[in-house]
Structure 1
């Protein structure tokens, strides 16, 4: 790190008052240098109240997202991730597009050693749709806990 730089040097959202991005495409997803680069470990983000819109009806869709990744040189800055995920509130897209789009944006931004996302969507039309993606085999040398989200059982 150059003299005068801090781990947050160059960030535009952390510590600032910023509005909600109008769309995921307009959201700025930021990264910070991994201070533990060279050590393999898992980072987990859980978004139990993720929302987007059905692209056909405009009705809200709800999901519980669990994102695991093994960082390389970069970590996602958590405020920018929160704003990015929140930007889906007024975004119309199918469950598969939201879930895989989030994973691909994170991979493009971070170039992680490994990433997995579980999108556990609440029923639409009586059918829950769960969407899963990972970049490759689960690393054998890193503890990756189960995502802990049970299958949807409804009322009974």
Structure 2
């Protein structure tokens, strides 16, 4: 594998300031050197935060992002910075979850992508948001998310 496929990266290995909004965040991608193989990549963000657009109060979620790469891989530092840019962003749970899915799909053109947003209760009601680009592909191991449904103190 050649290092020149990574030469265009602007954030990895550099001091990169935290973007203040998802719009400001720069997601980066690199060519997939194993594009001839179908495999699943999982990113888990168990401490995702955003803000309620009405009250400004923090909202917390456990995100699980699975995708089958095509020609591109998302660079993980840029993904981390993108996800943490939601800390100051006011949007409902559904908007945050679907915006992440759409941005990744647009950047990567993956063979398949799904995201599970397991949001912690606000007002006593957990809101879980699920999205995928199509049916789960056959012949590829896609593990369960491992996130238990919210059970409160029960």
For the aligned pair, the TM-score class normalised by the smaller chain equals over 0.9
Deviates more, 1:120-129 or 1:6-15: 6-15
- Of residues 23, 31, 34 in structure 2, which corresponds to 1:33? 31
Q: Which residue of 2 aligns with 1:65?
A: 63
**Aligned twin of 1:109:** 107
- The correspondence of residues 1-156 of structure 1 with structure 2, limited to 5 A, is 6-156=4-154
Post-superposition Cα deviations, 1:131-155, rounded to whole Å, max 9, x if no partner, equal 0000000001111001010100111
Looking at structure 1, the residues matched to 73 and 19 of structure 2 have their Cα atoms a distance apart, in angstroms, of 21
Query: What secondary structure sits across from 2:5 in the alignment?
Result: coil
- SS of equivalent residue, structure 1 residue 6: helix
- Structure 1 stretches of 4+ moved >6 Å: none
Shift, 1:6, TM fit:
1.4
The alignment of Structure 1 onto Structure 2 pairs a total of residues equal to 154
CA distance in 1, matches of 2:145, 2:54: 30
Displacement after TM superposition at 1:8 (Å)? 1.0
5+ long unaligned stretches in structure 2: none
Residue ranges of structure 1 left out of the alignment (5+ in a row)? none
Q: Distance in 1 between matches of 2:6 and 2:60?
A: 32
The 1-side partners of 2:3 and 2:149 are apart by: 46
1:7 shift after superposition: 2.3
List per-residue Cα deviations over 1:111-134 (Å, max 9, x = no partner). 000000000000010000000000
